[in-house]
């Protein structure tokens, strides 16, 4: 299968991604790319922490690209690649193009493909039905080339690249004596094969004469026309047909809409444009690329056939933790190790959820199940993720499977777990230069249960003094952060890895009551120390959930 034809699938972790979320996405993209057809790309739904950045740098891996929203975009729609046309083409040619392409709107573009305007069928109909000005051909600066094309004519005398810019259109139905009363200088005169009428029009300084029904033009007339700088056109059509068709030779530039054009860009989200499309009476909307160049057209019906983004979720299955607009995406798989959350899918998906301490442990198992050799750098990433999620095997979430996986991955990566963990946690706790907001949302997750909505952030450190300094900075910030993402309560875990304990900060709503109900300890000054509690997933959240259900 050609690379360009492969379906792209994003493998992505939760918002405010931790080391496990990033490393597992990279590993699973490697697994899928080596076992299935398609383009499997690791992505991230938030900023990378200092710890994760250290791990990626340590093993020579680049951070996955940032995807803040997986909603469908204009480029996911079935864009009609209608070619843009020059503003100089005739109304007749525009009409024929619309019929051939079965479209109602033509885009008018410059040579560099920048959109100039739009011409619609109704614009052309208006030009044909509502225009009574017999000087409009000149007002529109109509090129003789357009007139020839519209009338199937031949340029007998004059320059086809010239323009008719003065005078009116006159049908010479009367005899020459009467013609002198209504033909003026620079007029365009439609006439038949009468030599006298042709001569009269030229002597009256007409700008152009159109000889109908293919009548021959004498040498004398041609010579006189050349002397008087009068263009001569021969057409096979009769006078009535020519008079009816002549306005169709005008350039579309004169009738096109060019002010306040409603355009969309390829990267615009369909959620943001569908309401706009519904409120406008236009049938078609032009699409531009990021350089402002015309790409194609879409209509409201194209919204029905758009392709949804395909995603595989790792390390989460909560809608509140997922990348924005996840409900608009097509979820193919979920690989996780957390409690069952609130995500819903349109169709059955492959869902693998195991009670282990880290999603990276599941990735290690999948490599073995598929008999794939684990690359050295990815082994390092997965080992780092297990160490991070299990707090160097101190977390109650840690299982024998996590320990065994980490040991084998460390062997493949050529690292020693203890010393590597010390360096990794030290890198992750370098928070002096970060703002309270950056620290608070570095590892933050939102939870919902029984109409309660709360957020929990966490920082792990091997330096108790650093945790104290972070606490002093965060407590004033909690008031500002409350409700930013719709939460009624906020919590923050200051986890001391060495002493295996957490100081829990709480703010808002009934947060203190919830902590006391869950752990039977009353917070003082928005804070409570919880010895032995280090895991958000297995210790804090289950205790909160039990308290809320009661």
Q: Name the nearest CA neighbour of 386 among 402, 408, 374.
A: 402
Pair (152, 250) in one structural domain? yes
Q: Name the nearest CA neighbour of 291 among 113, 65, 117.
A: 113
Pair (484, 507) in one structural domain? yes
Structure tokens at 458: 């966490």
What kind and span of H or E run contains 530?
strand 527-531
Domain interval for residue 54: 3-71+309-428
User: Percent of the chain beyond pLDDT 90?
Assistant: 56
Mind spelling out the 3-state secondary structure of 113-151?
CEEEEEEEHHHHHHHHHCCCCCCHHHHCCEEHHHHHHHH
Mean pLDDT across the chain: 90
In terms of average pLDDT, the best of 93-102, 121-130, 230-239, 269-278 is: 230-239
- At residue 132, the pLDDT reads 65
Pair (203, 224) in one structural domain? yes
Pair (114, 200) in one structural domain? yes
Above 80 in pLDDT, residue 403?
Answer: yes
Q: Say if residues 72 and 328 touch (Cβ distance below 8 Å).
A: yes
User: Percent of the chain beyond pLDDT 70?
Assistant: 98
Strands 188-191, 169-171: pairing kind: parallel
Q: Residue 4 — pLDDT band, cuts 50, 70, 90? A: very low
- At residue 174, the pLDDT reads 67
**Where among 428, 446, 480 does a domain terminate?**
428
- At residue 389, the pLDDT reads 92
Pair (226, 368) in one structural domain? no
Pair (99, 248) in one structural domain? yes
Residue range 250-267, pLDDT digits in tens: 999 988 898 888 889 998
The order of strands in the sheet holding 452-461 is 444-449, 452-461, 489-496, 501-507, 527-531
Structure tokens at 469: 């300094």
Pair (245, 99) in one structural domain? yes
Segment 181-193 shows an average pLDDT of 88
Q: Residue 131 — pLDDT band, cuts 50, 70, 90? A: low
Domain with residue 416: its CATH number is 3.90.1640.10
Instruction: Output the CA torsion 347→352→353→357 (10° steps).
Output: -140
The more confidently predicted of residues 338 and 271 is 338
Pair (100, 160) in one structural domain? yes
**Where among 403, 428, 453 does a domain terminate?**
428
Above 80 in pLDDT, residue 6?
Answer: no
Q: Name the nearest CA neighbour of 310 among 75, 70, 28.
A: 70
Pair (249, 377) in one structural domain? no
Pair (242, 107) in one structural domain? yes
Pair (459, 441) in one structural domain? yes
Above 90 in pLDDT, residue 53?
Answer: yes
């Amino acid at each position: 299968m050609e690379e360009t034809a492969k379906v792209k699938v994003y493998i992505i972790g939760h918002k405010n991604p931790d080391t496990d979320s990033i490393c597992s996405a990279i590993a699973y993209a490697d697994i899928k790319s080596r076992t299935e057809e398609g383009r499997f790309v690791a992505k991230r739904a938030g900023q990378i922490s200092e710890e994760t950045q250290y791990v990626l740098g340590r093993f020579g891996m680049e951070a996955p690209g940032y995807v803040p929203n997986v909603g469908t975009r204009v480029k996911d729609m079935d864009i009609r690649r209608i070619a843009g046309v020059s503003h100089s083409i005739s109304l007749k040619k525009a009409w024929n193009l619309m019929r051939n392409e079965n479209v109602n709107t033509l885009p008018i573009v410059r040579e560099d493909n920048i959109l100039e305007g739009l011409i619609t069928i109704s614009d052309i109909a208006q030009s044909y039905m509502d225009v009574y000005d017999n000087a409009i051909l000149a007002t529109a600066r109509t090129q003789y080339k357009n007139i020839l094309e519209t009338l199937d004519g031949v340029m007998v005398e004059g320059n086809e690249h010239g323009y008719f810019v003065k005078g009116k259109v006159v049908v010479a139905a009367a005899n020459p004596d009467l013609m002198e009363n209504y033909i003026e200088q620079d007029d365009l005169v439609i006439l038949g094969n009468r030599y006298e009428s042709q001569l009269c029009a030229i002597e009256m300084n007409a700008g152009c004469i159109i000889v109908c029904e293919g009548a021959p033009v004498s040498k004398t007339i041609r010579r006189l026309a050349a002397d008087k700088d009068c263009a001569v056109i021969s057409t096979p059509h009769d006078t009535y047909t020519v008079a009816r068709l002549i306005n169709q030779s005008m350039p579309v530039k004169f009738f096109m809409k060019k002010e306040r054009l409603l355009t969309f860009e390829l990267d615009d989200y369909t959620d943001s444009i569908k309401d706009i499309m519904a409120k406008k009476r236009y049938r078609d909307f032009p699409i531009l690329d990021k350089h402002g160049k015309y790409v194609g057209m879409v209509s409201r019906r194209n919204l029905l056939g758009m392709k949804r983004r395909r995603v595989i979720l790792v390390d989460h299955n909560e809608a509140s933790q997922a990348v924005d607009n996840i409900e608009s995406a097509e979820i193919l798989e979920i690989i996780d190790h957390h409690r069952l959350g609130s995500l819903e899918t349109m169709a059955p998906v492959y869902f693998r959820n195991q009670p282990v301490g880290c999603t990276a442990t599941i990735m290690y198992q999948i490599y073995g199940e598929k008999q794939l050799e684990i690359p050295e750098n990815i082994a390092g990433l997965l080992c780092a993720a297990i160490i991070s999620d299990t707090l160097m095997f101190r977390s109650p979430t840690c299982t024998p499977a996590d320990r065994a996986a980490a040991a084998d991955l460390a062997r493949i990566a050529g690292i020693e777990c203890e010393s590597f963990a010390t360096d990794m946690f030290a890198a992750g706790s370098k928070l002096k230069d970060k703002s309270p907001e950056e620290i608070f949302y570095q590892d933050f997750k939102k939870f919902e249960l029984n109409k309660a909505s709360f957020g929990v952030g966490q920082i792990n450190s091997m330096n108790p003094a650093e945790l104290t300094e972070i606490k002093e900075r965060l407590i004033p910030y909690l008031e500002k952060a409350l409700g930013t993402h719709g939460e009624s309560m906020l919590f923050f875990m200051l986890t001391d890895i060495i002493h295996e304990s957490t100081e829990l900060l709480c703010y808002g709503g009934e947060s203190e009551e919830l902590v006391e109900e869950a752990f039977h300890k009353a917070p003082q000054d928005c804070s409570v120390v919880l010895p032995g509690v280090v895991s958000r997933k297995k210790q804090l959240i289950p205790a909160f959930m039990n308290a809320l259900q009661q």
